[in-house]
Chains A and B, each alone.
Chain A
Amino acid sequence: MLFVMPYLCLFILMLIVPLAMGIRLSFTRGDLFGIKEFVGLENYARLLADPVFLRTVWNTVYFVILTVPSLTIAGLLLALALNRETRWAAIMRGIFFASFVLSVTVVTLIWRLVLIPNGGLAGVIAKAFGAEPISFLGDQNWAMLSIAMTTIWWGIGLPMVLFLAALQQVPRDLYEAAALDNASRSRMLFAITLPAISRTIALVLVIEIILQFQLFGQPQLMTSGGPNNSTRPIVLFIYESGWSQWQLGYASAAAQILFALIAMVAMVQYRISSRKESR
């Protein structure tokens, strides 16, 4: 007990207290000069009737659907491909992890340069095939896909290293036993590798769900939430209503909804994977 005290104090002070203050704030109307009055659930009622907010919720969920499975599957495939002792694999592991350490400003700058219709890499490629360059960030149908693409490129390093660490924990003699049992490579993947790293798959899914629900920097820097709110995520909505429009109570209520959403999805995911585990 004594041993965890310092952390517990810090935890209460830095996490529980702000969280409680945030929840309290979400029941009030407030601005730059402080809390004005207690309004009960009014902020929540307004949010659920606000088409812009509902759009941001859908945008965020859409983004999560686009990125989380792709990051998990692509991260796993990369890890499987690069889980070997060659120099070439080591170099490739370094390259794929490198993008993860870049700042969001650098990443979005790189991808804006790629995606600019005139003179950007994507435009050049489109022209080479005789196609009309697409304005990826200016088109409602393409903008969120482009941001998802950017995010996958940026974030692939994390699931990859987590999977690599897990793959290296799988005892080698299991594969040898399977080879003697005449198992094909795909059979080894499904009968040995995937069950052996199932905990890491669950971990990666939870981490990515939490991370990707908090989408903010990429649309803020690449599209400012446009065109026509098609890339505005919840966090950007919270940021703008809180720090541009100074509706602190309203922003705080939106933050609580995001918190509940993340907690719910992560818990459902956790339930599914732990049920699989015990089966």
Chain B
Amino acid sequence: MAGVEMACVSKRFGDVLVIDKVSLEVQAGEFIVFLGPSGCGKSTLLRMIAGLETVDDGTIHIGEQRVDTLPPGKRDVAMVFQHYALYPHMTIKENLAFGLKNRRVPASEISARVEAAASSLEIGDFLERRPGQLSGGQRQRAAIARAIVKQPSLFLFDEPLSNLDAALRARTRIELAQLHQQLGTTMIFVTHDQVEAMTLADRIVVLHDHRIEQIGTPMEIYRRPATKFVASFVGTPKINIVELTAAKNGAMTTAALPDGTALETCIPWNASFAETGTTLGLRPEAIRVVAQGEGTAAGRAKVVERLGERTLIYAELSDGTMLTTEDRGDSQVRPDDMIGLSIDSSNAVIFTNEGRAHHGTQVSN
């Protein structure tokens, strides 16, 4: 088990900068998720830790050892690839044993480790089969088993769940979380799926435009996003971001929505709020639907989306601003109904026109 330390790491492909001076410290035993949209550089960053991409600038340490000059096989890491990358002409058993043989692990120990990994991932029955004879989920398990038998100090996962169907993905996610608890080994997991990131991570590293946008626990990322990008990337349904007119209210800020609704916030006043382009972020669950005439604001329901345990209502304010709001699962609201909106501004976020987030002083859960 070892931590990872990246210091001022950069990477270019030709003239294109794909990683721009990224620094990051991962604690030993931590489950870290790199989250970001496609093309943000998250996979490249992972591959640089693995040694599959060279590092143009900066250093990478795994534990005490500097690894950015070592070949991949000498870094004591194991990786699970997006397309599994199982050796197609070898049986699963040979796939699992391949890396160990290359490290000259004694045969008796190889078979013991393969047996143990196979039984913990329930692939014992498939050991003599080839990857082509297995289903996607079984291949995924074999790929994870191949990583486990190496007993590495660091596991790397490159979007390993993206090829599975929804049910299998949810199941494998839970199994990965259990695996991490069981092994306690440091894991770095790359995904563009925020649900995977929220459920698996001890800490999430949000990447955007080749840089780290924010590092934090899942709830920090969700509740106190550092930037407008993080706020809108994390959370389903998406956070409402609306134009606002901010006014100083003692030390705090009063935010007026485009339709004139004034919201008292606990966000300390900042002079930059007066500039145009300042916006307000409100999570859908902070806007509850109430009877017409009640609540802080009024709107008209445009689209009603029933999700079972809750209902999403896309409401239009009098000036045309659209807000995503939440109601109970048995909501009686129909499209075109006039509704009242009760807005809880305690978790509201104000974004300056450069996208920096300002949070309230106290956060209620």
Physical interaction between A and B: yes
Q: Which residues of A contact B (CB under 8 A)?
A: 171, 173-174, 176-184, 187, 191-192, 195-196, 198
Query: Which of A171, A184, A196 has a CB less than 8 Å from the CB of B89?
Result: A196
The B interface, classified by DSSP as helix, strand, loop or mixed, is loop
Given contacts A177-B87, A180-B79, 17 further A-B contacts (CB under 8 A): A173-B85, A174-B85, A176-B79, A176-B81, A177-B86, A178-B87, A179-B52, A179-B72, A180-B99, A182-B74, A182-B103, A184-B102, A187-B102, A191-B98, A195-B88, A196-B88, A196-B89
Complex: A200 Cα to B248 Cα, angstroms: 75
Interface residues on chain B, number (Cβ under 8 Å): 25
- By the criterion CB–CB under 8 Å, are A173 and B102 in contact? no
CB A271 to nearest CB in B, in angstroms, measures 19
Complex: A236 Cα to B150 Cα, angstroms: 61
- Beta-carbon contacts under 8 Å, B92-146 to A: 98-99, 102-103, 146
- By the criterion CB–CB under 8 Å, are B81 and A191 in contact? no
Task: Write 11 A-B pairs (CB below 8 A) sorted by A numbering.
Answer: A173-B85, A176-B50, A177-B85, A177-B87, A178-B98, A180-B50, A180-B73, A180-B77, A181-B99, A182-B73, A183-B102
Which residues of chain B are within 8 angstroms of A196 by Cβ–Cβ distance?
88-89
Q: Which residues of B contact A (CB under 8 A)?
A: 50-52, 71-74, 77-79, 81-83, 85-90, 98-99, 102-103, 146, 150
- By the criterion CB–CB under 8 Å, are A171 and B83 in contact? yes
> For residue A175, which residue of chain B has the nearest CB?
B85
- By the criterion CB–CB under 8 Å, are A181 and B52 in contact? no
- By the criterion CB–CB under 8 Å, are A183 and B98 in contact? yes
CB A209 to nearest CB in B, in angstroms, measures 24
> For residue B73, which residue of chain A has the nearest CB?
A182
Complex: A181 Cα to B89 Cα, angstroms: 16
- By the criterion CB–CB under 8 Å, are A181 and B102 in contact? yes
> For residue B75, which residue of chain A has the nearest CB?
A180
> For residue B152, which residue of chain A has the nearest CB?
A180
Complex: A182 Cα to B98 Cα, angstroms: 9
CB A55 to nearest CB in B, in angstroms, measures 43
Complex: A182 Cα to B51 Cα, angstroms: 12
Which residues of chain A are within 8 angstroms of B79 by Cβ–Cβ distance?
176-177, 180
Which residues of chain B are within 8 angstroms of A178 by Cβ–Cβ distance?
87, 98
CB B269 to nearest CB in A, in angstroms, measures 52
> For residue B150, which residue of chain A has the nearest CB?
A181
Which residues of chain B are within 8 angstroms of A191 by Cβ–Cβ distance?
87, 90, 98
CB A211 to nearest CB in B, in angstroms, measures 28
Complex: A173 Cα to B150 Cα, angstroms: 18
> For residue B100, which residue of chain A has the nearest CB?
A181
Given A173-B83, A173-B85, are A180 and B102 neighbors across the interface (CB < 8 Å)?
no
- By the criterion CB–CB under 8 Å, are A180 and B78 in contact? yes
- By the criterion CB–CB under 8 Å, are B81 and A177 in contact? yes
Which residues of chain A are within 8 angstroms of B103 by Cβ–Cβ distance?
182
Complex: A174 Cα to B89 Cα, angstroms: 11
Complex: A179 Cα to B53 Cα, angstroms: 12
Which residues of chain A are within 8 angstroms of B150 by Cβ–Cβ distance?
181
- By the criterion CB–CB under 8 Å, are A176 and B89 in contact? no
- By the criterion CB–CB under 8 Å, are B99 and A182 in contact? yes
Which residues of chain B are within 8 angstroms of A192 by Cβ–Cβ distance?
87
CB A79 to nearest CB in B, in angstroms, measures 19
Complex: A181 Cα to B74 Cα, angstroms: 9
Which residues of chain A are within 8 angstroms of B86 by Cβ–Cβ distance?
177
Top 4 A-B pairs, shortest CB-CB distance: A182-B73, A181-B99, A173-B85, A195-B89
Which residues of chain A are within 8 angstroms of B87 by Cβ–Cβ distance?
174, 177-178, 191-192
Complex: A206 Cα to B87 Cα, angstroms: 27
> For residue B53, which residue of chain A has the nearest CB?
A176
Complex: A95 Cα to B85 Cα, angstroms: 34
Which residues of chain A are within 8 angstroms of B73 by Cβ–Cβ distance?
179-183
- By the criterion CB–CB under 8 Å, are A173 and B81 in contact? yes
CB A174 to nearest CB in B, in angstroms, measures 6
CB B308 to nearest CB in A, in angstroms, measures 39
Complex: A146 Cα to B88 Cα, angstroms: 42
